[in-house]
Amino acid sequence: MNLILLGGPGSGKGTQAEALKLRFGLLHLSSGQLFRRHIREQSELGKQAEAVINQGNLVPDEITVAMLRERLQASDARAGAILDGFPRTLAQAKALNGLMEELGRQLAGVISIEVADEEIVRRLSGRLVCRECDTAFHQIFSPFTACPFEKCQGEHLYRREDDEPETIRERLQVFHRLTEPLIEFYEQTGLLTPVDGQGTIEQVTRRVLEAAEAFRPSA
């Protein structure tokens, strides 16, 4: 089963993708995480993406699509993936359609997590991320208590550079301008389920899992 999680920056895509991964045994494929890994390793792709990401803009479509194409072809993506943060432009959505066809796979559904801009600012202003595993915590809403992989004591937590107030504003503008049109695009395909992303993490998880269950192909 291949699912897309659509939503603004900080809407909870990464958090909910982990819940979906646990429930359905799918690969969690986050384009943002892939880029951050490339940046840490200072690969050629990482060097190209770093400045763009830190300014809150989108990495060009050609680079992003090529990275996702390679990742989706890997054997661990064969059983299906939760696409978190991809596609993010109409060009990427069209490229994904072509890629799915090429790989003989199908998109089961798109879950659009809806959160108001003010709430997004509150969430991103308090987010802390683990540099080792990319798990997101929040100073107030989801504080670090234990490492999900039992590997550290929280010593690798950091604040993402693109979570500075000015960059958050830029990312929100980019979302409204370039990514929001995808809601209508997927609505027209009949694949879209909007989910209220406000409320506690557990409340949103219940809604997201319910939406995903409805996409599960019948045996």
Pairing of strands 2-7, 81-84: parallel
Tell me if 158 contacts ligand AP5 by CB under 6 A.
Answer: no
Q: In this complex, which beta carbon is closest to ligand AP5, that of residue 135 or of residue 192?
A: 135
Question: Contact 95/65 with Cβ under 8 angstroms?
Answer: yes
- From residue 160 to residue 179, the character string flagging contacts with ligand AP5 as x (rule: CB under 6 A) and all else as - is --x--------x--------
Place of tokens 């090529």: 66
Give which of 208, 218, 217 is closest to 84, Cα–Cα.
Answer: 208
Look up 78 and say whether it is catalytic: no
- Specify whether 171 is catalytic: yes
Question: Residue 37 catalytic?
Answer: no
Work out how close the CB of 219 gets to ligand AP5 at its nearest, in angstroms, rounded to a whole number: 31
Distance of alpha carbon 89 from alpha carbon 7, whole angstroms? 12
Least Cα distance to 205 among 144, 159, 153, 142 occurs for 142
Terminal-residue alpha carbon distance, the chain: 12
Instruction: Please identify which residue in 26, 127, 207, 208 interacts with ligand AP5, judged by CB under 6 A.
Output: 127
Of 26, 58, 96, 192, which one interacts with ligand AP5 (CB under 6 A)?
Answer: 58
Beta bridge partners of 138: 127, 142
Active site residue 88: yes
136 belongs to the binding site for ligand AP5 (CB under 6 A): yes
> What residue ranges bind ligand AP5 (CB under 6 A)?
7, 9-15, 30-32, 35, 52-53, 56-59, 64, 85-86, 88, 92, 123, 127, 136-138, 141-142, 162, 171, 199-201, 204
